[in-house]
């Protein structure tokens, strides 16, 4: 087993969690959450952070511009369609970055040209030259993507690529937009493209693979073997539909299999576990238990044979150590006698470095929990911190709730919430307790979003375990997710619903009550 090999080619890591990742239905993040994600990406050595799509909304613009001002190391990229106003807006957003990039794209495949763009190949070629030139007049660092590149005839893709480089593009991205490629297809595409394009030596080629067939990481690595030196990816593989190539998998594959993949990245891998948690909490997207590298079970050994081998020598069943991705083995159980210092240390061990006010709030909630629950486990603390981070910006908060239920009788919820600080009280019935609660919330906020998902699981085992409630809402074509952890299941359900509703309000800056009704 090896770690980074010096003198190998560097693969640039381009993280698009805040752009392609946030496009994932329900993954909307607040500005605060985006800043938190950007900070960890910048700290862990991501080379380029695609911070958003500045023309999409004022919120997106503000996020990209703020991240551009704050980033200490990474290049900050803003996405732009092949439209003049988009490019200007992206240029404006990254203007204050130490190093900024405009990433502009246009569809190149016959399917997109015929049905979406209604343009000929010659018209698209002209657009490529025009838009890349415009971007280059604003900034030195310009990336061009041919959308749906993997379903584009290579001759046309090569002509577009040559034109983009001639107009000043310094990075050429080759998206597998619909996740259709196999590793062999993608290897051949990148290899042939680099060979066919006469000025290919003047640009870095980049992979951007979606995971519809579960091959995004394999395709990205095949692209690197074929000559690409930038990989576009996201933390936890978040992204449109089935997601993008997972950053942590790409980076750990390169690090762990240096024999087959003689490259290196500049990612400090011990930040991977924390980055995963921060993104999961910010986007309200739980990580599947068996997710490679960062899933809860990624380093757990259950079978007797495996445990026996592990006790004798970890290398029997472990190809990389939990420590290498930032997981610390700690068995310290917390309780009501644990003080501030121990709690702070525990948070750091779990990968959380909270700002002072957030730490104080979280500590108070930990104390409340410890009063009700004898042993507070790591998973309890993770649920509590994620909940605290995820609900910090909520404009509508639960103040008080009482639920009465009778077998065969009515179920009634009396609810008090604060809406932008102002108290609102309602009472509502339902066919069951949860129905009564959700009806009461809808009455309080004056909106009727469609409930897409409601699920509850236990954070740990036992009847005193905290309940983790997940709610997904849809309204006016937008989806948002909410989570909450509480010892009481009904309370967790109410807070998860409110958290999801609050997230529907985020992007639009809408008034909190009634704005989204319809
Ligand atoms: O998947 C895709 O084609 C994209 C482009 C905008 C690069 O995300
Ligand atoms: Zn994409």
Q: How do residues 207-254 score in pLDDT, each as one tens digit?
A: 999 999 999 999 999 999 999 999 999 999 999 999 999 999 999 999
* Residue entry with tokens 């992204």: 239
Ligand of minimum distance to the alpha carbon of 77: 1
Is a pLDDT exceeding 80 seen at residue 179? yes
Kind plus residue range of the DSSP H or E element containing 412: strand 411-419
Count other C-beta atoms under 10 Å from residue 237's C-beta: 28
Contacts 24+ apart (CB under 8 A), 8-11: 8/258, 8/262, 8/263, 8/264, 9/229, 9/262, 9/263, 9/264, 10/229, 10/263, 10/264, 10/265, 10/266, 11/224, 11/229, 11/230, 11/231, 11/254, 11/263, 11/264, 11/265
Q: What are residue 413's DSSP bridge partners? A: 403, 428
Q: What's the 173 CA to ligand 1 centre distance in angstroms?
A: 9
For residue range 396-441, list pLDDT tens digits in order.
999 999 999 988 888 999 999 999 999 999 999 999 999 999 999 9
Binding site membership of 24 for ligand 1 (Cβ less than 6 Å): no
pLDDT at res. 367: 93
pLDDT at res. 324: 95
For residue 148, give the ligand 1 atom closest to its CA: 3
Q: What is the CA radius of gyration of the chain?
A: 24
Q: What's the 155 CA to ligand 1 centre distance in angstroms?
A: 20
The residue whose C-alpha atom lies closest to atom 5 belonging to ligand 1 is 147
Is a pLDDT exceeding 50 seen at residue 305? yes
Kind plus residue range of the DSSP H or E element containing 58: helix 58-70
For residue 19, give the ligand 1 atom closest to its CA: 8
The pair phi, psi for residue 447, each rounded to 5°, is -145, 160
Q: What's the 75 CA to ligand 1 centre distance in angstroms?
A: 18
Binding site membership of 208 for ligand 1 (Cβ less than 6 Å): yes
For residue 177, give the ligand 1 atom closest to its CA: 1
pLDDT at res. 517: 33
Is a pLDDT exceeding 90 seen at residue 87? yes
C-alpha to C-alpha distance for 362 and 142, rounded to whole angstroms: 42
Average pLDDT over the chain, rounded to an integer? 91
Binding site membership of 176 for ligand 1 (Cβ less than 6 Å): no
Ligand of minimum distance to the alpha carbon of 240: 2
**DSSP notation for 247-267:** HHHHHHHHHHTTTT--EE---
pLDDT at res. 1: 43
Q: What's the 212 CA to ligand 1 centre distance in angstroms?
A: 14
Q: Which two tokens stand for residue 466?
A: 């905290």
């Amino acid at each position: 087993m090896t770690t980074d090999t010096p003198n190998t080619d560097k693969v640039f890591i381009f993280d698009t969690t805040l752009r392609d990742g946030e496009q994932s239905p329900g993954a909307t993040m607040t500005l605060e959450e985006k800043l938190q994600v950007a900070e960890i990406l910048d700290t862990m050595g991501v080379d380029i952070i695609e911070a958003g799509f500045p023309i999409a909304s004022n919120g997106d613009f503000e996020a990209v511009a703020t991240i551009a001002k704050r980033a200490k190391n990474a290049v900050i990229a803003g996405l732009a369609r092949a439209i003049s106003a988009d490019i200007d807006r992206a240029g404006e957003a990254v203007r204050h970055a130490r190093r900024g990039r405009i990433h502009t794209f246009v569809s190149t495949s016959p399917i997109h040209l015929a049905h979406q763009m209604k343009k000929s190949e010659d018209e698209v070629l002209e657009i490529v030259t025009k838009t890349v030139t415009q971007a280059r007049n604003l900034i030195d660092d310009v990336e061009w993507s041919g959308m749906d590149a993997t379903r584009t005839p290579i001759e046309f893709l090569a002509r577009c690529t040559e034109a983009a480089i001639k107009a000043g593009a310094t990075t050429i991205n080759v998206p597998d937009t619909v996740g259709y490629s196999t590793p062999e297809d993608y290897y051949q595409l990148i290899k042939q493209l680099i060979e066919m394009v006469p000025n290919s030596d003047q640009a870095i080629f980049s992979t951007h693979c979606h995971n519809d067939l579960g091959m995004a990481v394999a395709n990205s690595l095949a692209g690197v073997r074929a000559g690409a030196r930038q990989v576009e990816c996201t933390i936890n593989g978040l992204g449109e539909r089935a997601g993008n190539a997972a950053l942590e998998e790409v980076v750990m594959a390169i690090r762990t299999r240096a024999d087959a993949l003689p490259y290196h990245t500049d990612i400090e891998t011990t930040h991977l576990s924390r980055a995963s948690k921060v993104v999961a909490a910010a986007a309200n997207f739980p990580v599947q238990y068996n997710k490679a590298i960062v899933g809860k079970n990624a380093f757990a050994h259950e079978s007797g044979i495996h445990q026996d081998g592990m006790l004798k020598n970890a290398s029997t069943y472990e190809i990389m150590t939990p420590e290498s991705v930032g997981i610390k083995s700690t068995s310290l159980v917390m309780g009501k006698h644990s003080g501030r210092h121990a709690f702070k240390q525990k948070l750091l061990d779990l990968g959380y470095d909270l700002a002072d006010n957030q730490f104080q709030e979280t500590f108070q909630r930990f104390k409340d929990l410890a009063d009700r629950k004898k042993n507070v486990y790591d998973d309890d603390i993770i649920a509590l911190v994620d909940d605290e981070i995820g609900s910090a910006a909520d404009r509508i908060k639960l103040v008080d709730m009482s639920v009465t239920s009778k077998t065969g009788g009515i179920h009634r919820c009396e609810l008090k919430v604060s809406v932008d600080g102002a108290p609102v009280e309602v009472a509502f019935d339902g066919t069951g307790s949860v129905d009564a609660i959700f009806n009461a919330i809808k009455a309080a906020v004056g909106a009727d979003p469609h409930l897409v998902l409601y699920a509850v699981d236990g954070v740990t085992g036992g009847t005193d375990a905290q309940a983790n409630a997940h709610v997904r809402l849809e309204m006016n074509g937008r989806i948002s997710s909410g989570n909450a952890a509480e010892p009481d299941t009904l309370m967790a359900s109410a807070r998860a619903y409110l958290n999801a509703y609050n997230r529907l309000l985020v992007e639009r800056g809408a008034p909190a009550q009634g704005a989204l009704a319809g």
